[in-house]
């Protein structure tokens, strides 16, 4: 299973998600440009000493990411976490090779990306509240995805 970060804005959130991915054996795709210095040095700082344990792939753009994804066999589903979804993540059937896509903290993903995904899921929340922290939402959804797919083994998949 993969986590993909679409042009992340906040290095601390990216670092938290990188650390989670390293600890749980998930691959992480960073779709650039990031809204912060995403040099290897800065990512090491954000990811602490966990970055050396992370299967990280950097993509220079959304188009580069999509070319890479469509070249994988079988092509993994792209599952977007978004407040605009109708399906709660707890009612979604995850697959081991899914890519869980997280948008920018400030703006989510553009409409073109929304149209490119295979599924959109949400974390149900109380009415009138805007959104959860992206790293917290990622942890909730990753936990359910790994539970469903038997992926709590620590190996990179």
90 domain-assigned: yes
Q: What is the CATH number of the domain that holds 79?
A: 3.40.1280.10
120 domain-assigned: yes
Q: Tell me the pLDDT band of 157, cut-offs 50, 70 and 90.
A: very low
Range of the domain at 49: 2-149
Contacts 24+ apart (CB under 8 A), 137-142: 137/81, 137/102, 138/3, 138/17, 138/20, 138/81, 138/100, 138/102, 139/20, 140/89, 141/81, 141/89, 141/100, 142/1, 142/3, 142/20, 142/24, 142/26, 142/100
pLDDT in tens, 33-62: 988 877 666 665 555 577 788 999 999 999
pLDDT in tens, 96-123: 999 999 999 999 999 999 999 999 999 9
125 domain-assigned: yes
12 domain-assigned: yes
154 domain-assigned: no
58 domain-assigned: yes
Helices 134-149, 11-24: inter-axial angle, 10-degree rounding: 20
60 domain-assigned: yes
44 domain-assigned: yes
Mean pLDDT of the 123-143 span: 95
pLDDT: which is higher, 112 or 154: 112
Number of domains in the chain: 1
Share of the chain above pLDDT 70, in %: 90
C-alpha 140: how far from its chain's center?
12
């Amino acid at each position: 299973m993969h986590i993909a970060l679409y042009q992340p804005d906040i290095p601390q959130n990216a670092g938290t998600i990188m650390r989670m991915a390293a600890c749980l054996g998930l691959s992480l795709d960073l779709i650039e440009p990031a809204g912060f210095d995403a040099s290897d040095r800065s990512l090491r700082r954000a990811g602490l000493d966990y970055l050396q344990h992370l299967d990280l792939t950097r993509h220079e753009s959304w188009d580069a990411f999509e070319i890479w994804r469509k070249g994988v066999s079988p092509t993994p589903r792209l599952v977007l976490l978004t407040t605009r979804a109708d399906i709660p993540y707890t009612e979604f059937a995850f697959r081991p090779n899914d890519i869980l896509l997280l948008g920018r903290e400030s703006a989510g993903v553009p409409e073109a990306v929304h149209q490119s995904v295979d599924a959109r899921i949400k974390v149900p929340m109380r009415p009138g509240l805007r959104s959860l922290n992206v790293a917290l939402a990622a942890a909730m959804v990753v936990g359910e995805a790994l539970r469903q797919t038997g992926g709590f083994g620590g190996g990179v998949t």
